[in-house]
Chain A
């Protein structure tokens, strides 16, 4: 239990994470040992089948006793439990700095960091590989996937350093994300999804056989619009300003914003993306419980597929 980890995950929160498990709907494909069912066959504990040797197979896998009986090369395959590869894509654009006036230090980015630290905690407990990609005005900064406590420390260090600024990077910077995140990986995107490019990235990753989960982090003020009187609202990314009376603008905003959120959820659901909203006045484990908790609508992974 390092001090840095305690900075993000409080003991109470850690206790609530106990019954959560990172699960993927699709079976994992990456090599290694883990707790997840795998579709790939190879060396392992549980025998699956023999198949004929093909060029490129490891000669060590050939069953020589069978070769002695049959004079043909057979390769022994076993089904193995493979670890999941979990990726956290964190939006670090300027809009993530927004916080509620009632709780000034608890910005979207802080919430994203805490949720990310919780996911890292879960992945570490399960022996999964995990990595982080942050995307903001400073560009795309990845921590390549690996497993183990040192990887956790690398990721937490990255989270500590993370500052939100600027706008969503251009597509060129994001192209590497497809190379970085292997097929079948579990990708959890933490963003406000106000930027269409972030939504497009989620769609592209989902289309490319990554299992994408999106967590839309919204402030309480965006849900309730609890402003009163005249205010000068500024968009942190574009710098646009709007001087308006909050009382008369409330009803229209809540209606339009709710419609926009419904449209986003429908759009992502059509791509097979599991989408969850998280408001800043909720505990940080609430969205994870929706995504990974037992009996959640995300469901249990189908065995074997």
Chain B
């Protein structure tokens, strides 16, 4: 346990200690005249002694202490190495309180949920799906270096990211043998994909329709959400709830379509459409030889993408590939990253970054001390016993 200051320059405030010292110099009371009518019987021969002396010692000491503690408070003192020796047991919310208590015996430990803020186990159970990997790194970073950590996880662990967490401590990775089905995704309303075409591009529609039909077949098995396709001439306005748009109309992009994109829509423009924004975007889809097929960029709150080639099999052979529906869908909607794994395979590694332990701030205690000293100072300064110094 060691003491440190986060802002040592705050100690410059110690110069303020001179103020009460000056206030309490006895010279000051000498300067205040004392009314004394019997002056003629007093002899002037003796001069006052030239010696530094102070009035009201107790009050002076309290005032000096008050200022010193205030200066220390400004310097932001901390205590290092006051790690809580109590072990932590962190429970994934899917397990539940009763199962966690039954499967691991550590009554003295500090039981917490693996949830943001790490509420104690007696608190209400948080939601089942949590960003598990992130929380593991957080609990490792916020605990003292010597605190033992036990994590209770179900057999199938959700909420993971791409990497096995690398933690600085050895974690007791305790797998509770229970089946936890993946949380069922909430049923979503089908996404509306509108296709608008000019006469020249009408043949391309069959490829798009085929891709949409492929999506519907996948949608039955419960993968990504369903997509509802509406196909119309370019003159027809977009229906309400339209989220995606394929715009195969030559010429300039109409302002109302542009406003719709900026308002949050995602649009794939044909190669013959004039749109400076989309053409200047980054490459989103390249073919096997590295040539860019689709560029795109954000436009307002939405996204605009543009094909670089004609929507024909001759110009765009990928139309005939088997993975064209997936490719097309990926343009509109990034596929969800896998976030579930066997807990056994996802045990945290040791050897994470060595973070400095978080020192314990002393400011609340000092603030309480300041309050006590202030009350004492006021009490001493205003008490009835106090009179002009004699």
Q: Which residues of B contact A230 (CB under 8 A)?
A: 26-27, 30, 48-49
B46 CB within 8 Å of chain A = yes
B42 CB within 8 Å of chain A = yes
Q: Quick check: B26 and A229 within 8 Å, CB to CB?
A: yes
Q: Which residues of A contact B48 (CB under 8 A)?
A: 229-231, 243-245
Q: Quick check: A228 and B390 within 8 Å, CB to CB?
A: yes
The smallest C-beta distance from A279 to any residue of chain B, in angstroms, reads: 13
Query: In the complex, A150→B339 CA distance in Å?
Result: 103
Q: Which residues of A contact B47 (CB under 8 A)?
A: 243-245
The smallest C-beta distance from B151 to any residue of chain A, in angstroms, reads: 71
The smallest C-beta distance from A208 to any residue of chain B, in angstroms, reads: 28
9 tightest A-B CB contacts, nearest first? A230-B48, A95-B37, A233-B36, A235-B39, A234-B33, A248-B46, A230-B30, A256-B41, A257-B41
B301 CB within 8 Å of chain A = no
Which one, A97, A192, A233, contacts B39 given CB within 8 A?
A233
Q: Quick check: A221 and B36 within 8 Å, CB to CB?
A: yes
- The answer to whether residues A245 and B26 also contact, given A95-B37, A227-B390, A233-B33 and a CB cut-off of 8 A, is no
A241 CB within 8 Å of chain B = yes
Interface size on A, residues (CB 8 A): 37
Which one, A94, A97, A238, A245, contacts B46 given CB within 8 A?
A245
Q: Which residues of B contact A144 (CB under 8 A)?
A: none
- Chain A residues within 8 Å of B, Cβ to Cβ: 94-95, 97-98, 101-102, 104, 192, 194, 221-222, 226-238, 240-245, 248-249, 252-253, 256-257, 260
Q: Quick check: B387 and A98 within 8 Å, CB to CB?
A: no
Q: Which residues of A contact B34 (CB under 8 A)?
A: 227, 231-234
Q: Which residues of B contact A221 (CB under 8 A)?
A: 36
Which B15-50 residues have C-beta < 8 A from chain A?
26-27, 29-49
Q: Quick check: A257 and B38 within 8 Å, CB to CB?
A: yes
Which one, B41, B45, B46, contacts A260 given CB within 8 A?
B41
Q: Which residues of A contact B26 (CB under 8 A)?
A: 229-230
Q: Which residues of B contact A94 (CB under 8 A)?
A: 37
Query: In the complex, A249→B44 CA distance in Å?
Result: 8
The smallest C-beta distance from B160 to any residue of chain A, in angstroms, reads: 78
Q: Which residues of B contact A232 (CB under 8 A)?
A: 30-34
The smallest C-beta distance from A232 to any residue of chain B, in angstroms, reads: 5
Closest residue of chain A to B36 (Cβ to Cβ) is A233
Q: Quick check: B35 and A242 within 8 Å, CB to CB?
A: no
- The answer to whether residues A242 and B42 also contact, given A221-B36, A232-B30, A234-B33 and a CB cut-off of 8 A, is yes
B181 CB within 8 Å of chain A = no
Query: In the complex, A253→B41 CA distance in Å?
Result: 6
The smallest C-beta distance from A94 to any residue of chain B, in angstroms, reads: 8
Which B124-164 residues have C-beta < 8 A from chain A?
none
Which B29-79 residues have C-beta < 8 A from chain A?
29-49, 53
Query: In the complex, A104→B35 CA distance in Å?
Result: 12
The smallest C-beta distance from A275 to any residue of chain B, in angstroms, reads: 17
Q: Which residues of A contact B390 (CB under 8 A)?
A: 101-102, 226-228
Query: In the complex, A194→B45 CA distance in Å?
Result: 22
Q: Which of B27, B38, B40 has the most CB of A within 10 A?
A: B38
Closest residue of chain A to B39 (Cβ to Cβ) is A235
Instruction: Produce 1/0 per residue, B185-196, CB < 8 A to A.
Output: 000000000000
The smallest C-beta distance from B337 to any residue of chain A, in angstroms, reads: 82
Which one, B29, B53, B387, contacts A104 given CB within 8 A?
B387
Q: Quick check: B37 and A229 within 8 Å, CB to CB?
A: no
Q: Which residues of A contact B46 (CB under 8 A)?
A: 244-245, 248-249
Q: Which residues of A contact B40 (CB under 8 A)?
A: 194, 235
Q: Quick check: B49 and A236 within 8 Å, CB to CB?
A: no
Query: In the complex, A104→B34 CA distance in Å?
Result: 12
Q: Quick check: A249 and B388 within 8 Å, CB to CB?
A: no
- The answer to whether residues A235 and B43 also contact, given A101-B390, A230-B48 and a CB cut-off of 8 A, is no
Closest residue of chain B to A240 (Cβ to Cβ) is B39
Q: Quick check: B35 and A253 within 8 Å, CB to CB?
A: no
Task: Please list 21 pairs of residues, one from A and one from B, whose beta carbons are closer than 8 Å in the complex, sorted by A's number.
Answer: A98-B37, A104-B388, A192-B37, A194-B38, A194-B40, A227-B34, A229-B30, A230-B48, A231-B29, A233-B33, A233-B35, A233-B39, A234-B35, A244-B47, A244-B48, A245-B49, A248-B46, A249-B43, A253-B42, A256-B41, A257-B41
Query: In the complex, A221→B35 CA distance in Å?
Result: 11
Q: Which residues of B contact A102 (CB under 8 A)?
A: 387, 390
The smallest C-beta distance from B159 to any residue of chain A, in angstroms, reads: 75
Query: In the complex, A240→B40 CA distance in Å?
Result: 9
Query: In the complex, A104→B390 CA distance in Å?
Result: 13
Query: In the complex, A65→B38 CA distance in Å?
Result: 68
Q: Quick check: B37 and A236 within 8 Å, CB to CB?
A: yes
Query: In the complex, A222→B34 CA distance in Å?
Result: 12
The smallest C-beta distance from B47 to any residue of chain A, in angstroms, reads: 7
Q: Quick check: A235 and B36 within 8 Å, CB to CB?
A: yes
Q: Which of B32, B34, B43, B45 has the most CB of A within 10 A?
A: B34
Instruction: Produce 1/0 per residue, B366-390, CB < 8 A to A.
Output: 0000000000000000000001111
Q: Which residues of A contact B29 (CB under 8 A)?
A: 229, 231
Query: In the complex, A237→B35 CA distance in Å?
Result: 10
